[in-house]
Structure 1
C-alpha cells in the first residue's frame, strides 16, 4: 500500500452548534459555505433536534461535496456541550464559532485570513451587527474599542474587554491552542452565560490580540415574546459565571487595573440581573436577590466606593463615566436594601412588561 500524506491542517475551523433551527439553518450555512475555501473546515453539531434541522443540514452539505465538513449528532445536552464537542473535533489553527440562527457576514473568512497572515495573534476581536430581520432599519453595528495594531499588553486586552462588556465567543476568533490551555470542559455544561465565564479565562491566556474592524456576525434578534426567559436558574447562572471568571483571574495573577475593570463590569451585570429579578413572582424574586448578593460581593476585588473613585478619577477605560457612576450607585442601593430602589424597580418592571405585552399584541394583529 502507498501511504497517504497527512491531510493539511486547516487554518480555520468553523463550528456551528444547532438545535431546532429548521427555519434558520439554511441561511446560516449558506453564509458560511459561500465563503469556504481550501484552508477551512466546517463542523456542525446537531444537539438532538426534534424538527427537520438535521435533515436540512445533511441535504445542504450533500449539495456541496467539495467542502471539508462533518456533522456530529448528539442527544440534546445544550449549546455548551455542543461547542465542547465541536472543539474536540476541530483541526484548524483558529476557531470560528457561528450560532445557527445567525449569519456569517460576507468577506469575514477572507478578512480573518488577512489578519492572521499579518499578525498571527492569539485572538482576533471582531465587530458584529445586531440584526433585526423584520426591521432592517433597526439593525446596527457594534464596534469594539481595542486600540489599533497588535496588542501585547494583557492589562490593555482585559481592561478593554471588561469596558466593552460584549461577551460573545463568536465575536472572538482564538487560536485552538488557547482553548487547549483550559481544562475541559471549556464551556460549562447546563448553564446559560457560558460565554461570560469562558471569555475572561480565554483572554487571560492570550499574549497578543488584534482588533479587526470588520463586522463578522449578523446577530439575529427574534420577535418579542410575552416574557423574557428570566428564571431563578438564569439569575444563579450569571452569579456562577462571575465567580468562575474571578477564580481564573486570581490564578493568572492579573494586575490591579484589571481587578478594578472586572469589578465595574460585574457591577453592570449584577444590577441588570437584580432589575430583571423584579419580573419574577414576588417570593421568587426576593429569594433570587438574597442568593446572588453574597456571590456577587465575594466575587469583587474591591467595593463600590473604590469603583466609584476609579471611575470619577478617570483611572479606568470607560465609554460613559456618568453611566458607570450611576450603575455603581444603584448597586450600592441594591446591596443596602434601599426601599426607594425596590419601589422604583417594581414599578419600572411592571411598565416594561406592559409595553412588551402591547408589542406582542401588535405583532399578533399584524401576522
Structure 2
C-alpha cells in the first residue's frame, strides 16, 4: 500500500477573514495570490456573508489550483472569531493577516522571507500605507520607528510600540508559536479594538523582533469609516481593551519603563474616546464618560503628574513631547470634570457634525 509523505510545513500562512466584501475580495486575493509560492498557504474565512463574497472566493481560487489554499465558511460571528478560526487551521511557521478590503503590497512576502532567513525573529514589524482609493493624493505611507537590526530587548520593543500607537495586527507578522502561547481565544469575540487588547499581549511574549521598512498593506480608507459610528459599546470596548492589556503586562512582569509608555499610550486612546463621546446624545455621553473613567484610572500604573514628568524627560520614547504633554493635560482636565474642557468639546463636536452633514448633503446632491 502506497504511503504519502506529509506536506512540508509552510513558512507563511496568509489568513484573510471576509464578510460582505464582494466588491473588494477579488483585488485583495489577487494581491496575495500573485506573490504566493510553494512556501505559502492561504486560508480565507467567510464570516457568513450574505452577498456574493463566498462564491467569488471559490471561483477565484478555482483558477489557481497550484496554490495551497482553503476556504472556511462560518456563521456570521465577527472578525475576531474569523481570525481565531483561521489561526486554528494554519500550519505555517509565521502568520500574515490581510483584511479582505485591503491589498498586500508587491514584494511583501519576499521581504518577509528574507527577514526570516536572516534573523528568524519572533515577530517582524512592517510599515503600511493609508490608502484613499478615491483620493489617491491623500494616500501616504506610515512608518514604524523601531531601531534597525535584530531587537532582543523587550522593553525597547514594547516602548517603541506604545510610542508609535499603531494597533494593527496585520502590520506585525508573528511566529505561530507566539499566538499559541496566549490563552484561547486569542482575539476577543464580539468586541471592537480587538487588536488593541491582543497586540500588547503578543509583543510581550516576543524575545526578538526585526523591523522591515517595507510597506506591507494598502489600508483602505472608506468614506463610511471617516464617520465611524460612536456608541456606548464602542467606548466601553476600548476601556476593556486597556484593562486586558494591563493585566497581561502585569503577568509578564514588564520593566518600569514599559509601564510608563503604556500609561502615555492609554492617555491618547482615552482622550480620543472621551472626545468622540460628545457626539452621542448628551445623557448617553455623560453616562459613557462616567463608566469609562474608573476603568481607565484603574488601568494606569501612575497618574497624570507622573506621565507629564516622564513625557517632558528624555528617557521615554517620544516623537512629539509637546503633543504628549498637551494630551496628558487634556486627560487631566477630563478626569477633573473641567467645565472649560466640556464646553470646548461640545462646541467642537457640534461643528464637526454640522460639517459632516453639509458634506453628505453635497455628496447626495452630486456636487
Do they superpose with TM above 0.5? yes
Structure 2 distance, partners of 1:179, 1:293, is 31
Equivalent residue for 1:317?
A: 317
Superposed CA deviations along residues 296-342 of structure 1, whole A, max 9, x for unmatched, are 00000000000000111222100000100000000000000000000
What is the CA-CA distance between 1:357 and the residue it aligns to?
1.7
Please name the residue that 2:238 is paired with. 238
More deviation, 305-314/217-226: 217-226
Report the equivalent of 2:189.
Answer: 189
1:347 corresponds in structure 2 to: 347
Question: RMSD across aligned C-alpha pairs, in angstroms?
Answer: 1.0
Check conservation: 1:227, 1:353, Cα contact below 8 A: no
Once the two structures are superposed, residues 207-236 of structure 1 have per-residue CA deviations (whole angstroms, 9 ceiling, x without a partner) of 000000000000000014794211000000
Aligned counterpart, 2:23 = 23
Report the secondary structure of 1:146's partner residue: coil
Q: Secondary structure at the match of 1:71?
A: strand
2:89 aligned partner: 89
What residue ranges of structure 2 are gaps of 5+ in the alignment?
none
User: Shift of residue 363 of structure 1?
Assistant: 2.5
Task: State how far apart, in whole Å, the 1-side matches of 2:184 and 2:82 are.
Answer: 13
2-side partners of 1:170 and 1:301: how far apart?
28
TM norm structure 1:
0.99
**SS state of the match for residue 42, structure 1?**
strand
Is contact 1:130–1:218 with CA below 8 Å preserved after alignment?
yes
SS at match of 1:117: helix
Structure 2 match to 1:175: 175
Per-residue CA deviations over 1:100-158 (Å, capped at 9, x if unaligned) read 00000000000000010010000000000000001100000000000000000000000
Residues 129-208 of structure 1: matches in 2 within 5 Å?
129-208=129-208
TM-score (ref. length: structure 2)? 0.99
Question: What is the rounded CA distance, in whole Å, between the counterparts of 2:361 and 2:338 in structure 1?
Answer: 35
- Counterparts of 1:225 and 1:97, CA distance in 2: 20
**Partner SS, residue 67 of structure 1:** coil
> Which residue matches 1:60?
60
Q: Which residue of 2 aligns with 1:287?
A: 287
C-alpha deviation, 1:41, in angstroms: 0.2
Q: Which residue of 2 aligns with 1:272?
A: 272
Matches within 5 A, 1:331-342: 331-342=331-342
Whole-angstrom CA distance in 1 between matches of 2:94 and 2:226: 39
Whole-angstrom distance in 2 between the partners of 1:106 and 1:365:
38
Q: Which residue of 2 aligns with 1:36?
A: 36
Say which SS state the counterpart of residue 5 (structure 2) adopts.
coil
1:362 deviation in Å?
2.8
How many residues are matched? 367
Mapped to 2, the partners of 1:204 and 1:360 lie a distance apart of 43
SS of corresponding position for 1:350: helix
Task: Give the match's secondary structure for 1:243.
Answer: helix
Matches within 5 A, 1:98-117: 98-117=98-117
Q: Distance in 2 between matches of 1:330 and 1:68?
A: 51
**Residue 248 of structure 1 corresponds to which residue in structure 2?**
248
2: CA distance, partners of 1:123 / 1:362: 46
> Matches of 2:217 and 2:353 in 1, distance apart?
29
Give the SS at the match of 1:363: helix
TM superposition shift of 1:366: 3.2
When residues 81 and 265 of structure 1 are mapped into structure 2, their CA distance, relative to the original with a 3 A threshold, is: same
Counterparts of 1:225 and 1:266 in 2: how far apart (Å)?
22
How far apart are residue 354 of structure 1 and its match? 1.4
